[in-house]
Amino acid sequence: MTPSDFSRRTALPLLLVALGTAQAQAAPLPTAQQKQILSFADGYQPSLDTVAKAIWDYSEVGYHETRSSKLLQDELTKAGFEVKAGVAGMPTAFIASYKRGRGPVIGILAEFDALPDMAQTIAPEKQGIAGKAAGHACGHNLFGAASVAAAINTAQWMAKNNIAGEVRLYGTPAEEGGGGKVYFARDGFFQDVDAVVNWHPGNSNSAAQSRWLATINVNFEFRGASAHAAGAPQAGRSALDAVEAMNAMVNMMREHVPQETRIHYAITDTPKAPNIVPAYAKVFYVIRHPDEAEDKAIFDRVVKAAEGAALGTGTTMSYSLVGSFKNMLINDTLGQVMDRNLRTVGGVKLTAAEKQWAGEVQTRLPAGTKKPLTEFETIRPYTTNELVSASSDVGDVSYVAPTVGLSTATFVPGTPGHSWQVVAASGHPVGMKGAGVAARTMALTAAELMTSPDVLKKAKAEWTERRGPDYKYETLMKDGKPPLNYWSE
């Protein structure tokens, strides 16, 4: 499938007006239509729960989310969406469209990949699952299910009220390092979208529009010569020594990079026998910084460290990019719409039993992270431009279309991301309730934007101003194919 297959232009052209000259004031949907959408969402909530739990059970890692992707596609097909699978060279990627006449195109993002080595039951204590490795330690089972729910609820509202426009659900795989959305953006699949709506599971309810860290994900491979480690060590050249030398140099470099920098690595391939000089070893690096250009400069220094390690150990080095994400281009115009709709929906209401479960999880949170359970019900103040030490390929989407997001309280407040506590909550009714808040908020927001051409115009003007009128989207993943086996290669 090519981008032209989904090239449906709106009948309301978005004029490139200077930021601040558009006088549009966001107005909520009529109360009766808000109630319609919330009623549709109430009716679909059991399906949202079922889908989210099924994807939690599947726990499929990036680019291998076969069953998870199919389940979401099936839900959308049943709801009357046209679904195209295998988009942009990614077997588990898809685009689902519900269109009535000519009007604005509102995109909704859905993720559904799990993380390796994170299997966990829904028990409020650490408890692995025999024979299972991956787990939804970032709540993407909730992400995908709630986004599909929002798209379906928006389509129901469109049909009920004879609304012209298109709601388009993007099924985007491999956010955890593989960067599926980058290939959607690179190949032009957002070129006719007026606004993109998304969310992420979290510790609190907030529509704050925050900056994220740009990131470069890269594999470094070292090759040497094997030999008997005792009988002929002089004949060997250790690839593992090269990895350790590289890591030592990068760790010393941490003192001499901007303080916002984040660098992480994992040695992903090394021999098991200590009496053999290892001829091959691999290390996976993630390099982050708020500014994309600075991130690239730090990456270049890491490459120099790898080259030095190879030189010093008599090995050879090669590297391959796994993914590269941009920072987030915030949109205050869209953020204010999202914030107001989140406040209309309200926070997460837990039962006594759910509060008890959450309280038990809190007793096992790291010291100093515990926050009150009232975070479930509270809506945090709306802010813009706060820096969050996280990264996502949503950043790339924000540079090719005006983009807005929110988070809702799906985890026990204070839970660190990528932890067993996240996995447990993502499969528990607590997580499903937070996902329901997100689904309702996104549906209200998508519907409001679809009927607010002046707001879309203002959002487009802000977007153009922030990224620059002469901006041209580019990515380090210029011509490469998606790394479909990046977790196992």
Selected residue with higher pLDDT from 150 and 13: 150
Q: What is the pLDDT of residues 371-405, one digit of tens each?
A: 999 999 999 999 998 998 889 999 999 999 999 99
Contacts of 180 (CB under 8 A, 6+ apart): 62, 63, 88, 90, 93, 172, 173, 174, 393, 482
What per-residue confidence (pLDDT) applies to 420?
A: 97
Prediction pTM value: 0.91
Angle at 138 between CA 137 and CA 144, to 5 degrees: 120
Phi and psi at residue 124, in whole multiples of 5°?
Answer: -80, 20
Scanning the structure block, which residue is given the tokens 């919330």? Answer: 38
What per-residue confidence (pLDDT) applies to 6?
A: 41
**Residue ranges matching CATH 3.30.70.360 in the chain:** 214-325
Tokens of 343: 């406040």
SS3 at position 252: helix
| β-bridge mates for residue 282, sequence order | 221, 269
Mean pLDDT (the chain) is 93
Indicate if the pLDDT at residue 22 is higher than 80. no
What per-residue confidence (pLDDT) applies to 20?
A: 39
CA distance readout (Å), 358 to 45, 46, 371, 429: 21, 21, 11, 11
DSSP 274-338: TTB--SEEEEEEEEEESSHHHHHHHHHHHHHHHHHHHHHHT-EEEEEEEEEE------HHHHHHH
Instruction: State the Cα–Cα distance between residues 189 and 187, nearest whole angstrom.
Output: 6
For 74-83, 123-132, 477-486, which range has the lowest pLDDT when averaged over its residues?
Answer: 477-486
What per-residue confidence (pLDDT) applies to 18?
A: 36
Tokens of 291: 């500014």
Tokens of 372: 């009150």
| β-bridge mates for residue 200, sequence order | 407
Q: What is the pLDDT of residues 305-327, one digit of tens each?
A: 999 999 999 999 999 999 999 99
Angle at 358 between CA 353 and CA 361, to 5 degrees: 130
What per-residue confidence (pLDDT) applies to 9?
A: 35
Indicate if the pLDDT at residue 19 is higher than 50. no
- Which amino acid belongs to residue 327? N
Half-sphere exposure of 81 (CA within 13 A, CB side): 31
Indicate if the pLDDT at residue 223 is higher than 50. yes
**Tally of CB atoms within 10 A around 287:** 26
Of all residues in the chain, what percent carry a pLDDT higher than 70? Answer: 94
Indicate if the pLDDT at residue 24 is higher than 90. no
Indicate if the pLDDT at residue 126 is higher than 50. yes
Phi and psi at residue 284, in whole multiples of 5°?
Answer: -105, 120
Q: What is the pLDDT of residues 296-307, one digit of tens each?
A: 999 999 999 999
What per-residue confidence (pLDDT) applies to 1?
A: 52
Instruction: State the Cα–Cα distance between residues 362 and 124, nearest whole angstrom.
Output: 9
Asked whether the beta carbons of 188 and 248 are under 8 A apart, the reply is no
What per-residue confidence (pLDDT) applies to 488?
A: 82
What per-residue confidence (pLDDT) applies to 15?
A: 32
Q: What is the mean pLDDT of residues 333-351?
A: 97
Instruction: State the Cα–Cα distance between residues 318 and 466, nearest whole angstrom.
Output: 37
Confidence of residue 3 (pLDDT cuts 50, 70, 90): very low
CATH architecture of the domain formed by 3-212+328-467: 3-Layer(aba) Sandwich (3.40)
Confidence of residue 368 (pLDDT cuts 50, 70, 90): confident
Q: What is the pLDDT of residues 411-438, one digit of tens each?
A: 999 999 999 999 999 999 999 999 999 9
CATH architecture of the domain formed by 214-325: 2-Layer Sandwich (3.30)
- Which amino acid belongs to residue 415? T
Per-residue burial over 359-376, b = 16 or more CB atoms within 10 Å of its CB, e = otherwise: eebbeebeeeeeeebebb
DSSP summary character for residue 30: P
DSSP 194-220: SEEEEEEEESSBB--EEE--EEEEEEE
**Residue ranges matching CATH 3.40.630.10 in the chain:** 3-212+328-467
Q: What is the pLDDT of residues 435-449, one digit of tens each?
A: 999 999 999 999 999
